């Protein structure tokens, strides 16, 4: 076998943080050595302590992955302790306040590159200030640079700042420069790729799609576990502009009209227990509701397997057609029965159509049609739809990492 190559992996999202971005990093790094790539990870020196979940994630990494967490991120401390000051800095220092971590990293990264001799540098965004590290390393050490926009930058509808004209102008200039200078750009949805090429046609030959996917090793099917009858599940983050309230309201109308008993139950897992409980009350759902807090990936998947239905709702008040929330891949990996409320022109709609085992309700349908679709879906459950195995296998984290390794191989 040829000598294993190394990638200089730069991220601000890494355990002890446990979020979608940190998990995306860990899963790539878990499987990269199987494709003859090791990594030297540059990440913040965290003051937070590891918990059982973050330790489980790190134990998935082999000895081929070296973690160098030598510089703390002062901006993250501000976010936790002085929210208003962090907000001001985030608006005054485009692209974001994580510049406070980026500049010290630039002063300290040289000896690490000399010592570990990476073949390529990879940055993952957001925060987009990390692109400065990738650009500097490429310029100074003549290494190919891959940047991963797992979140869109100037095309992101959630990217709101004070002094909008100043921030947007500088962000547009920075984004164009970094995308011109990088050797490859990764986005995580096909629609994001299309939109980026529409804005920057010269990206056509160096932009790739690698979604989040799911790790089959996190899904341990327990044949002895029983599905809870009449159970619904919703999981993940909840925001003011992105919540399951529209689907909960529809579910409330359907249940209150069709079922007079209280045999149904609703479960939630995530970091917004109180917010979800409030949304359930606001929607007028009169069934048993249980919140379970954050669950590690294995426990989360085991819990999903016990649910009769999982709920999936995309926002209708934002340009979200490029989004594919990470929880959808977990649902697909578990072959769950998905009840979704989405926009007709979203990328999610195309994926669910191919997946098969789901009910897709569209925002532009009249409420009577939406309720009728729910009623028909519940009455036809004994004739369960078959899932599309090809679609499921295509979202395997191992397969997706092989695609990343192929990009690395082409550039080195």
Instruction: Tell me, yes or no, if the two domains 5-213+396-411 and 217-393 fold the same way.
Output: yes
Q: d(Cα 145, Cα 135) in Å, to the nearest integer? A: 7
User: At residue 202, does pLDDT exceed 70?
Assistant: yes
User: At residue 81, does pLDDT exceed 70?
Assistant: no
**Residue 211 — pLDDT band, cuts 50, 70, 90?**
very high
User: At residue 49, does pLDDT exceed 90?
Assistant: no
Task: Give me the helix-helix angle, 131-141 and 164-181, nearest 10°.
Answer: 40
pLDDT at residue number 283 = 92
Q: d(Cα 146, Cα 122) in Å, to the nearest integer? A: 5
User: At residue 246, does pLDDT exceed 90?
Assistant: yes
User: At residue 26, does pLDDT exceed 60?
Assistant: yes
**Lowest-pLDDT range, 24-28, 283-287, 355-359, 377-381?**
377-381
**Residue 134 — pLDDT band, cuts 50, 70, 90?**
very high
Domain limits, the chain = 5-213+396-411, 217-393
**Residue 257 — pLDDT band, cuts 50, 70, 90?**
confident
Yes or no: is domain 5-213+396-411 CATH 3.40.50.300? no
User: At residue 75, does pLDDT exceed 90?
Assistant: no
The residue with greater pLDDT, 227 or 312, is: 312
Architecture per CATH, domain 217-393, reads as 3-Layer(aba) Sandwich (3.40)
**Lowest-pLDDT range, 40-54, 281-295, 304-318?**
40-54
């Amino acid at each position: 076998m040829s000598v294993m190559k190394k990638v200089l992996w730069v991220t601000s999202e890494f355990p002890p943080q446990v979020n979608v971005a940190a998990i995306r990093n860990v899963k790539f790094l878990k499987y990269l050595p199987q494709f003859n790539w090791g990594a030297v990870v540059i990440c913040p020196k965290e003051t937070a302590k590891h918990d059982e979940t973050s330790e489980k994630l790190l134990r998935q990494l082999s000895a081929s992955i070296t973690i160098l967490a030598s510089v703390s991120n002062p901006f993250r401390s501000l976010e936790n302790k002085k929210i208003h000051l962090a907000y001001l800095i985030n608006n005054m220092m485009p692209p974001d306040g994580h510049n406070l971590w980026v500049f010290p990293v630039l002063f300290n990264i040289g000896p690490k590159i000399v010592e570990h001799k990476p073949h390529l540098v990879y940055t993952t965004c957001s925060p987009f200030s990390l692109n400065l590290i990738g650009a500097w390393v490429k310029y100074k050490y003549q290494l190919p640079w891959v940047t991963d926009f797992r979140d869109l930058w100037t095309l992101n509808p959630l990217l709101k700042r004070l002094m909008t004209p100043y921030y947007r102008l500088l962000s547009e200039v920075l984004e164009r420069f970094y995308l011109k200078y990088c050797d490859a750009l990764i986005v995580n949805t096909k629609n994001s790729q299309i939109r980026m090429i529409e804005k920057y046609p010269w990206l056509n030959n160096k932009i790739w799609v690698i979604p989040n996917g799911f790790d089959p090793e996190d899904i341990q099917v327990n044949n002895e576990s029983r599905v809870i009858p009449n159970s619904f599940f919703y999981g993940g983050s909840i925001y003011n502009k992105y919540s399951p309230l529209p689907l909960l309201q529809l579910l409330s109308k359907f249940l209150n009209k069709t079922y007079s008993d209280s045999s149904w139950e609703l479960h939630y897992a995530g970091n917004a227990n109180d917010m979800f409980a409030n949304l359930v009350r606001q929607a007028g759902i009169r069934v048993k509701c249980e919140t379970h807090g954050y669950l590690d990936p294995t426990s989360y998947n085991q819990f999903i397997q016990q649910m009769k239905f999982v709920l999936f709702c995309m926002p209708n008040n934002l340009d979200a057609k490029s989004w594919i929330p990470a929880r959808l891949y977990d649902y697909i990996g578990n072959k769950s029965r998905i009840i979704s409320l989405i926009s007709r022109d979203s990328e999610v709609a195309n994926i669910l159509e191919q997946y098969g085992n789901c009910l897709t309700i569209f925002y532009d349908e009249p409420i009577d049609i939406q309720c009728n679709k729910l009623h028909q879906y519940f009455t036809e459950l004994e004739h369960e739809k078959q899932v599309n195995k090809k679609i499921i296998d295509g979202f395997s984290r191992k397969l997706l990492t092989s695609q990343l390794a192929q990009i690395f191989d082409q550039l080195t």
